Chains A and B, each alone.
Chain A
């Protein structure tokens, strides 16, 4: 018995030789740089894809930016270097949050024409448009429904969508204007796209990382949209898109383009196909990054956007006339022109 007791005590005393801990970095400019580089290296989901498409070499990035780190730099200087390093990813879902600023990469829409103006939108909506939660809508003069969903951060319920679809039921077609919608909740994007189909449709695939390696991914899992049990749209639809259509809006466009009777019109969408996760640095700065990629139904990446069925841009001539080129083009399509 004594021997058993001694064995147990020995076991307890030696157990903690194998503590579960994570590698730590010092709270210094170099430590925070290494921590950020490692977080992206181990968790970011597009390193391999972007190595193939834009020549991103994350090891080269480490070498290049580490030279700019020195122990005496202040927070603003450190953030500037880290922001530039993260910009190499060309990802709007990547941010570095400090108490003074939010580092961001917005070139995915800032480098392109918006193809819409609030003034023109207001003109089409008028003053007596209806508001159902996050959706603004009305019937245009030629009996075309016009629906604007400005942000999927604004919620909508199934009851709202029933009311919107029912109100627009007599219209000859529907314009869904997504320009300027930079995303939000994927749930709302799926709810709206479920109104556009009578059948279960394969719209894409999702993956997530299963380990620290750049290529450690789960098998792609199919994503379907199920037809809504509420009021569904049965006529033609034109979805207006621009470079600002990002993240959840990008998912909506991916889903909508697989629905029958839907035509997409405008510019490339902005992309943003990685569900973002959060982490942090030893100095307390928070970092957001893409962790889980969405693919289209052909298993192709949509991180850099989705091309429209019909390219179309807002012309200055039309804008000066008070007309929105995309809306007018959509009206022609819906009228069979």
Chain B
């Protein structure tokens, strides 16, 4: 039995790939989003989006080739109709957790690759300020996903620069959706359930989240800069939804090394 783990934050950016490391990244994003929800409007709404993202990648102690990953993402958006006389206010959270197999020095030195699966869910709402009996759409879903992550680092003078790319592809799950013309009054006040939990798969919910970040050492910290592309789609019960979000992100990464 191993002794209780101690956590120590490294003061010097390390080369990734250590067997007992844990990466914690917090990112704040600002960007643009394009919303479509035909339950609310046939038009696409566009506007700014704020994102906060926290993710952890931790190597399992008992198997250094296995990476445990968690992702918590929150977002808020305020979008305009094409004529800019109606608005959507959106917000939501998303959480995923899963495991991946890590390969070190693949293809070339210092390039690590991780591939695995995740399970997670989303909760959110999109509110339209002009509609009457169809003023909002709730988002709730769970899904299993495939993810890949590539990490590469190199040195410029004495500074270690780390590049990270990850992609997250939902494969199979379930999502809430009212019927084509069903009101929330009918659904919740009258309790008329009608196939409102639908199976989601690549055929009706093709979505992809990609994040590219660069970690740069700044004194004793590591600043992360990057680009988040979060593209979600759903087409079921005759209702079409998409949310195409693209944000620039900035934050920090802490690398924590467990010392036994």
Q: B259: CB under 8 A from chain A? A: no
Q: Evaluate whether A286 and B86 lie within 8 angstroms (CB atoms) in the complex, with A5-B113, A20-B242, A21-B36 already known.
A: yes
Give the docked Cα–Cα distance between A89 and B106 (Å).
67
Q: Is the CB of A286 within 8 A of B235?
A: no
Q: A298: CB under 8 A from chain B? A: no
Instruction: Give chain B residues whose Cβ lies under 8 Å from the Cβ of A20.
Output: 36, 206, 233-235, 240-242
Q: B10: CB under 8 A from chain A? A: no
Instruction: Give chain B residues whose Cβ lies under 8 Å from the Cβ of A282.
Output: 43, 82-83
Q: A39: CB under 8 A from chain B? A: yes
User: From A38, which residue of chain B is reached at the shortest CB distance?
Assistant: B42
Q: Is the CB of A221 within 8 A of B192?
A: yes
- Per-residue B-contact encoding for A1-45, CB less than 8 Å = 1, 0 else: 110110010011001101111111001000000010001000101
Instruction: Give chain A residues whose Cβ lies under 8 Å from the Cβ of B241.
Output: 20
Q: Is the CB of A284 within 8 A of B183?
A: no
Instruction: Give chain B residues whose Cβ lies under 8 Å from the Cβ of A186.
Output: 185
User: From A23, which residue of chain B is reached at the shortest CB distance?
Assistant: B42
Contact of B240 among A22, A206, A218, A275 (CB under 8 A): A22
Chain A, range 229-266, C-beta contacts under 8 Å to B: none
User: From A22, which residue of chain B is reached at the shortest CB distance?
Assistant: B42
Q: Evaluate whether A275 and B133 lie within 8 angstroms (CB atoms) in the complex, with A1-B106, A209-B181, A292-B183 already known.
A: yes
Of A2, A15, A186, A187, the most chain B CB neighbours within 10 A belong to: A15
Q: Is the CB of A221 within 8 A of B83?
A: no
Give the docked Cα–Cα distance between A35 and B83 (Å).
14
Give the docked Cα–Cα distance between A186 and B183 (Å).
13
Chain A, range 262-293, C-beta contacts under 8 Å to B: 275-280, 282-284, 286, 288, 291-292
Instruction: Give chain A residues whose Cβ lies under 8 Å from the Cβ of B86.
Output: 280, 284, 286
User: From A8, which residue of chain B is reached at the shortest CB distance?
Assistant: B148
Shortest Cβ gap from B126 to chain A (Å): 14
Give the docked Cα–Cα distance between A27 and B135 (Å).
24
Shortest Cβ gap from B105 to chain A (Å): 12
- Per-residue B-contact encoding for A108-150, CB less than 8 Å = 1, 0 else: 0000000000000000000000000000000000000000000
Shortest Cβ gap from B2 to chain A (Å): 31
Shortest Cβ gap from A200 to chain B (Å): 14
Q: Is the CB of A12 within 8 A of B210?
A: yes
Q: Evaluate whether A212 and B238 lie within 8 angstroms (CB atoms) in the complex, with A45-B181, A277-B133, A292-B182 already known.
A: yes
Q: Is the CB of A276 within 8 A of B132?
A: yes
Q: Evaluate whether A211 and B238 lie within 8 angstroms (CB atoms) in the complex, with A286-B130, A288-B132 already known.
A: yes
Give the docked Cα–Cα distance between A218 and B36 (Å).
25
Q: B81: CB under 8 A from chain A? A: yes
Contact of A218 among B38, B115, B132, B194 (CB under 8 A): B194
Describe A's contact surface by its main secondary structure: mixed
Give the docked Cα–Cα distance between A310 and B48 (Å).
59
Q: A216: CB under 8 A from chain B? A: yes
Instruction: Give chain A residues whose Cβ lies under 8 Å from the Cβ of B169.
Output: 11-12, 15
Chain B, range 79-117, C-beta contacts under 8 Å to A: 81-86, 103, 106-107, 113, 115
Instruction: Give chain A residues whose Cβ lies under 8 Å from the Cβ of B38.
Output: 22
Q: B9: CB under 8 A from chain A? A: no
Q: Evaluate whether A216 and B180 lie within 8 angstroms (CB atoms) in the complex, with A20-B240, A221-B192, A286-B130 already known.
A: yes
Chain A, range 197-231, C-beta contacts under 8 Å to B: 206, 208-212, 216, 218, 221, 223
Instruction: Give chain B residues whose Cβ lies under 8 Å from the Cβ of A12.
Output: 167, 169, 208, 210
Of A1, A208, A282, the most chain B CB neighbours within 10 A belong to: A208
Instruction: Give chain A residues whose Cβ lies under 8 Å from the Cβ of B220.
Output: none
Q: Is the CB of A292 within 8 A of B106?
A: no
Q: Is the CB of A35 within 8 A of B42?
A: yes
Q: B11: CB under 8 A from chain A? A: no
Instruction: Give chain A residues whose Cβ lies under 8 Å from the Cβ of B131.
Output: 277-278
Q: B231: CB under 8 A from chain A? A: yes
Give the docked Cα–Cα distance between A206 and B237 (Å).
18
Q: Is the CB of B206 within 8 A of A15?
A: yes
Of A8, A187, A280, the most chain B CB neighbours within 10 A belong to: A280
Report which A residues bind B (CB closer than 8 A): 1-2, 4-5, 8, 11-12, 15-16, 18-24, 27, 35, 39, 43, 45, 99, 186-187, 206, 208-212, 216, 218, 221, 223, 275-280, 282-284, 286, 288, 291-292
A sample of 26 inter-chain contacts (CB < 8 A) reads A5-B113, A5-B148, A8-B148, A12-B167, A21-B44, A22-B38, A22-B240, A24-B43, A27-B82, A206-B186, A206-B192, A208-B180, A209-B180, A210-B181, A210-B237, A210-B238, A221-B186, A221-B190, A223-B190, A276-B133, A277-B133, A280-B81, A284-B81, A284-B84, A292-B181, A292-B183
